[in-house]
Amino acid sequence: MHRGIIIIIVLFGFFTSCRKEKTPHDILSQEQMLELLKEVHMMDSYFNTLPIDSTRKVIRGYYGELLGRYGLDSVGFEDNIRYYVANPQRGEEMYERLTNYFQGLDRELIQADSIRMAHRRDSLRQVNEWMRLFRESQKLIFLPDTLSEDSFADTIAQEPSFYVYSKKMEREFQNWPIPLFNQLPSVVELLQKPKAVENATAGEVEEDTPAVDSTQVN
């Protein structure tokens, strides 16, 4: 009989010890404490970016508001810290979860920063390309009295090396934000114009030359 009672007491103590330990009513749950420590850490990081004088003016108010959302004051916060640190298993688990969270946050920030820097590099590359096109465009800027089609065509005809026209440059200038070149005649048309003028001139010469009568020659 006494042996059976002892066995029951031992089993009761064993199962009682195996039950999950309850958190005291004045202690935050592990999830709540984890969220609080995340906010405390980020707030500390923010204050580290401020001058010391500015931090002293606002730190009490910020921390007071943060702890108030969790129903704590400075004393209650210290009690929670002691509770979770007192048990090595709880403290280690809490530390591991916080470390994983902030490492993941750092990776996200690094990735976002890389994307932002890549966009910035693309923007700078685009600006450099516009500047290059602008320098090229200076070769096409003439004085007002040279903007006529005739004078422009004559300039190109007399100085072929003045401007080397290519399809690549034509496509690039189509994307130029300033519609400067829309006011100028097409370079291709102007390059073809001197030939048309020559052909027309040759035709006029033929018309002005009197026809020779073969009977008179004979």
- Residues 106-156: tens digit of each pLDDT: 777 777 767 766 666 666 777 677 777 766 666 654 444 444 555 555 555
- Tell me, what's the pLDDT at 103? 83
Distance, in Å, from the CA atom of 177 to the CA atom of 84, rounded to the nearest integer, reads 63
Q: Are 72 and 26 in contact (CB under 8 A)?
A: no
Q: Would you say residue 71 has pLDDT above 60?
A: yes
- Tell me, what's the pLDDT at 2? 42
Query: Residue ranges of the domains in the chain?
Result: 26-125, 141-203
- Tell me, what's the pLDDT at 10? 39
**pTM across the whole model:** 0.41
- Tell me, what's the pLDDT at 118? 67
Cβ partners under 8 Å of residue 27, min gap 6: 79, 80, 83
* Residue 94 pLDDT class (50, 70, 90 cuts): confident
Q: Would you say residue 174 has pLDDT above 50?
A: yes
74 to 79, 83, 99: CA distances (angstroms)? 9, 14, 24
What stretches of 71-218 show up as alpha helix (H) in DSSP? 74-86, 88-137, 149-158, 167-174, 187-208, 214-217
Q: Are 166 and 139 in contact (CB under 8 A)?
A: no
